[in-house]
A and B are shown apart, each in its own frame.
Chain A
Amino acid sequence: MEHVDGNALAGPLAEFFSFDATTATARCNGCGAIGELARAMVYRSGAGTVVRCSSCDHVLATLVETAGRAWIGLSGISAIEVPRGPATSSG
């Protein structure tokens, strides 16, 4: 099957990377719990922010921010569900 390059992600990923974290849900890689990100436990340290699963304490995500640069790590999450508007026509 043919593939296209990553520029094709611009449209679809714009939706994901502008999601409202207070309404998104995520599945924890540690215990499998699916829960609202808003219920996760957030630890702020100088080095960065660590988001932990409220069920099992597993690290879900990390945020590192510095002048002009920022990183998000999602290694503890298998998938995120983001709310979207009414479905448009799709096959």
Chain B
Amino acid sequence: MSFITRGFSGRSRDRDDRLPPGQTLVPDFPVLSAGPTPEVDTAEWEFTIRTESGVHRWNWDEFMALAIEDVDTDIHCVTHWSKLGTNWRGVSLDTLFEHVETEREFVMAHSYGGYTTNVPLDELLGGKAWVAFEFDGEPLEPEHGGPARLLVPHLYFWKSAKWVRGLLMMDEDEPGFWEQNGYHLHGDPWTEERYW
């Protein structure tokens, strides 16, 4: 079901009910970067999950041998753009956590280049998050977070950390990079959790 809104131009159109409040559709894929693009060779890439009991580690070849999923999803950036029906391939966090034992309920995602972002573990499991390495059938370009980025499409896109290199399990929810500097700890686009 959709309802009619009037845009600034006076044109009326059906507002897509896949679009969260305050968002506008874009056809392209804006690049938002807080620093230089890290160049990470897949030969040196690794992904880790650090828990209270140790470190789980995958190199690129080991990662590619895991169950790979096709993901069709909408993405929503806090800067008011949304893109519907994007296509990704990656490994589900359910697969990565299959053999991980942890009592800790919060995650800090760490990226090559130093970026961090926090997400509760239960928001990464249950088919809600992936480590993605393909976009639109092509290897993920470095400017979009390649070789691999976190994909948590039900939260604002700053949570989908580019150049992800690992997850650190934490006892408490602690703010990541943008969350320390004005952005919301959680970031649900449907309730517009944009800032503090």
Contact = CB atoms under 8 A, between A and B. Distances in A.
Interface string B125-162: 00000000000000000000000000000000010000
Contacts of A64: 178, 181-183, 195
A47 B35 contact: no
B108 interface: no
B32 A46 contact: yes
A10 B53 CA distance: 49
Contacts of B194: 66
Given A57-B35, A64-B183, A66-B195, A47 B30 contact: no
A48 B181 contact: yes
Contacts of B182: 48, 62, 64, 69, 71, 73
Contacts of A75: 180-181
B104 to A, nearest CB: 24
B35 A52 contact: yes
A47 B177 CA distance: 11
A7 interface: no
Contact of A59 (B30, B114, B183): B114
B195 A47 contact: no
A47 B195 CA distance: 11
Interface residues of A, number: 16
Nearest to A65: B182
Contacts of B34: 43, 45, 47-48, 50, 59
B164 interface: no
A47 to B, nearest CB: 5
B114 A47 contact: no
A48 B178 contact: yes
Contacts of B181: 48, 62, 64, 71, 73, 75
Contacts of A52: 35
From A48, A52, A59, A73, residue with most partner B Cβ within 10 Å = A48
A45 B33 contact: yes
B35 A73 contact: no
Nearest to B77: A46
Given A46-B32, A57-B36, A69-B182, 6 more contacts: A43-B36, A48-B181, A48-B182, A64-B183, A73-B181, A75-B181
6 contacts: A43-B35, A47-B32, A47-B178, A48-B34, A48-B182, A59-B114
Interface of B: 30, 32-36, 77-79, 114, 158, 177-178, 180-183, 194-196
